[in-house]
Amino acid sequence: MNVRSVHLLPRPAWVELISSGSHTIAVPTYRDLLKRAKKALPSTATTKDRFQVPEVDVLQEGSTTVLRNLAEIGDAINRDPQQVFAYLLRELGTAGTLDERRALFKGRIAPENISDRIRSYVEEYVVCSECGRPDTHLIKEDRIAILQCDACGAHRPLKVIKRAAKAEGEAVQEGKVYEVMIQDIGKKGDGIARREKYVIYVPGTTKGSIVKVQIEKVVGTIAFGKVVRE
């Protein structure tokens, strides 16, 4: 390559020439640097869109509710299925067992109840509240569980106990409407639904139906409601 041909090469658009005395150097333009820096940054919006928790695959087997894809959900959110299962048991207020890749819950539980709880699990234990990405892991520091974000470095403590107590208090409230499954019929003919530790009596319903119920009265852990139609 001879010197002359180098000088005749067209100057790329992203280069600007800076002269100082007899020297001329080619440097990338500010605009180009900015463009390259932006390219190097992770694209938060698209990663967030791609993060999808599989829909719950729920089956009723007699008086048992089977979540058939618990392990798949655990894989997708990068959490131990056992941990997710323990959370579900506590939030749903029921007993159950883990069977290979499936979770078995005692009683008939509406699929929406399970997917609601998984959604809150993901919000609390998976997604970074700073950048919204799921690339996080849990660490323990001085006996406090902390959610550490691998994407942006943010971390926040998990208020497990406080949150669980709050969720329990909110499970059934007077005046509110909940979608429930009628799991049984009581002695007086009223439908019986359960929501966490609460038993809800709903007149005029049939076993197995999923209804929207407005809570009229709560006494201890027993609630009375009526069906609402929208």
Which residues of the chain form contacts with Zn ion (CB under 5 A)?
A: 128, 130-131, 149, 151-152, 154
- In the bound complex, what is the minimum distance in angstroms from residue 48's beta carbon to Zn ion? 11
- In the bound complex, what is the minimum distance in angstroms from residue 133's beta carbon to Zn ion? 5
- In the bound complex, what is the minimum distance in angstroms from residue 126's beta carbon to Zn ion? 11
- In the bound complex, what is the minimum distance in angstroms from residue 49's beta carbon to Zn ion? 16
DSSP 164: H
Q: Which is nearer to Zn ion, 48 or 176 (CB)?
A: 48
Element (H, E) at 119: helix 111-125
Q: How far is 202 from 186, CA to CA, in rounded Å?
A: 10
- In the bound complex, what is the minimum distance in angstroms from residue 147's beta carbon to Zn ion? 9
- In the bound complex, what is the minimum distance in angstroms from residue 146's beta carbon to Zn ion? 13
Q: Which is nearer to Zn ion, 78 or 82 (CB)?
A: 78
Q: How far is 74 from 53, CA to CA, in rounded Å?
A: 9
CA-wise closest residue to 70 among 108, 111, 107 = 111
Q: Which is nearer to Zn ion, 16 or 135 (CB)?
A: 135
Q: Which is nearer to Zn ion, 153 or 169 (CB)?
A: 153
Query: Cβ–Cβ contacts within 10 Å for residue 30, how many?
Result: 9
- Is the separation of the CB atoms in 26 and 40 below 8 Å? no
Q: Which is nearer to Zn ion, 152 or 167 (CB)?
A: 152
Q: Which is nearer to Zn ion, 156 or 176 (CB)?
A: 156
In whole angstroms, how far apart are CA 108 and each of 51, 68, 207?
A: 29, 14, 10
Q: Which is nearer to Zn ion, 129 or 173 (CB)?
A: 129
In whole angstroms, how far apart are CA 48 and each of 1, 76, 92, 135, 159?
A: 50, 13, 28, 10, 24
- In the bound complex, what is the minimum distance in angstroms from residue 154's beta carbon to Zn ion? 5
CA-wise closest residue to 24 among 15, 33, 13 = 15
Residue 216 backbone phi and psi in degrees, to 5: -100, -35
